Structure 1
């Protein structure tokens, strides 16, 4: 039974933090180390975290330099064989999810699955527009981020700290780096996470897209990246046309 470190990053999210905590603590899989990194919240978030402190492995509450700096703090404290980021507002899909992930195949470097999207009222919006690929490697993001950050379990030994030169898309760079080192990547063929739509990359959408283009160019080359983005644009147009027909 591998040990899994689950890391939750939170700052002033008193509305959603309890949902996230309970989705972790209610897992049937018990070999879990749970770390919460709080950015010195002032809205009552810490009061909720304190309610569960006996079940949380480590709690850090201090100012940080942004979400990826906070994630690096969590990584530095992690002692598990695998790491999973389940940030405030998101949830592990159901109580058996972690057990099902590790039962799917022994000893993978990376496990990944599907994500269900939820709106601000916690109403399901269905699966992500980007379906998780049947097979995944470090080149799989060339047409967009096809696996959400909340839906990927990575062996700690192949991770590196997040590159803080990226403010909005360092998670893409982080996953690609790990995938380049992975020799065994397993699709668990199930939903593994619930994702609250929004977040920093949505609020700063233009800046996030610029960073993504920069990251993809670094790994895939400029000309292939431009060509891939033309395909992304075509896929996006087709997606909206198809869904408009469905809604009509």
Structure 2
């Protein structure tokens, strides 16, 4: 076990020099209908006003860790170990929760599930779980989005380990797929829980993201020739879009 649970839900944010966007996330947490949650922010030793903004918060159950890290998943691992929730949600500093998010996620916990996924707004459209196998849609065959869109039982990390530092972009894909392909129970909510920010590494480094997703699929034993063909097609598509 990873510790005693004080809250049902912890929100974990990995932040670095996020003063330009984190206020929107803060206001969305303040606006939650259900305020019984904690917010753990793991700051990578920001040099802007991020820490000043966070330390001024007095109306949220906030825990702040500020020290250098090895990237987002190293920061998330620190947050998971430090949080007290039975379940946790990842939220990027540029993400925004809708006011129903915590309340709706809690309603799903009653079904004794391991992972609960909610519908997320991203790039102007709604993201749902993809219908098809994980060999084609990777973790999107199980969850809508790792950030905002997946309430994860914390003790899954005791069974499957923490986010791998070998995959600085797609460690979430590896962890979610390992859990789900080994029997973790998932459900999807009918509600829209928030709006995904698009300034993260996975949104900016599309070639790197495709490459890591390909490596994860091979590591998990998916048909290597099908994965190679899919990888080449994705890279060609990205290159054409860049023209």
TM-score, normalised to structure 1, is: 0.80
Deviations 1:62-120 (A, max 9, x none): 1111111111110111221111101100012x2122212222452211110221125xx
Task: Check conservation: 1:142, 1:216, Cα contact below 8 A.
Answer: no
Q: What runs of 5+ residues in structure 2 fail to find an aligned partner?
A: 1-5
**Matched residues, number:** 223
Residue 224 of structure 2: aligned partner: 222
Residue 140 of structure 1: aligned partner: 134
Task: Check conservation: 1:109, 1:182, Cα contact below 8 A.
Answer: no
TM-score, normalised to structure 2, is: 0.81
Deviations 1:11-65 (A, max 9, x none): 0011111111222233222331210111111111111111215523310111111
> CA 1:95–1:82 in 2, change beyond 3 Å: closer, same or farther?
same
Q: What runs of 5+ residues in structure 1 fail to find an aligned partner?
A: 119-124, 241-248
Matched, 1:21 2:21: no
Deviations 1:151-181 (A, max 9, x none): 0111111123110011211111121122234
Could you tell me how far apart the structure 2 residues matched to 1:126 and 1:187 are? 17
After TM superposition, the structure 1 = structure 2 runs for residues 82-97 of structure 1, keeping only pairs within 5 Å, are 82-92=87-97, 94-97=98-101
C-alpha RMSD of matched pairs (Å)? 2.6
Q: Secondary structure at the match of 1:76?
A: helix
One of 1, 5, 14 as aligned partner of 2:10: 5
> CA 1:28–1:17 in 2, change beyond 3 Å: closer, same or farther?
same
Residue 245 of structure 1: aligned partner: none
After TM superposition, the structure 1 = structure 2 runs for residues 203-222 of structure 1, keeping only pairs within 5 Å, are 203-219=204-220, 220-222=222-224
Could you tell me how far apart the structure 2 residues matched to 1:101 and 1:202 are? 25
Residue 172 of structure 1: aligned partner: 173
